[in-house]
Amino acid sequence: MIVSTPEIDGATGHVGEMYDGDLRGDGFVFAHTRAMAVNPDAHQAFEDLIHAIVPSIGLRTYELATLGAARAIGSEHCLLAHGRKSLRAGLFDEDQLARLARHDGDAGLDDADAAVVAYAEKLSTDAATMTDADTQRLRDLGFSDRQIVDITLAAAARNYFSRALQALAVPVDDVPGLSPALASALRASGGAARDLSGG
Give me the residues of the chain with pLDDT under 70, please: 105, 190-199
Best CA proximity match to 76, nearest among 180, 199, 177, 188: 188
How far is 59 from 102, CA to CA, in rounded Å?
Answer: 22
pLDDT of residue 191: 57
How far is 128 from 124, CA to CA, in rounded Å?
Answer: 10
pLDDT of residue 127: 96
pLDDT of residue 188: 87
pLDDT of residue 199: 52
pLDDT of residue 189: 77
Domain chopping of the chain, boundaries: 57-197
How far is 54 from 50, CA to CA, in rounded Å?
Answer: 6
Q: Which CATH number applies to 57-197: 3.40.50.970, 1.10.3720.10, 3.30.300.10, 1.20.1290.10?
A: 1.20.1290.10
Provide, rounded to the nearest whole percent, the portion of the chain with pLDDT above 70: 94
* Alpha carbon separation from 165 to 24, 67, 69, 105, 129 (Å, rounded): 23, 16, 14, 29, 26
Region of residue 4 (left: phi > 0; alpha: psi -120 to 50; beta: else):
beta
pLDDT of residue 197: 53
pLDDT of residue 120: 97
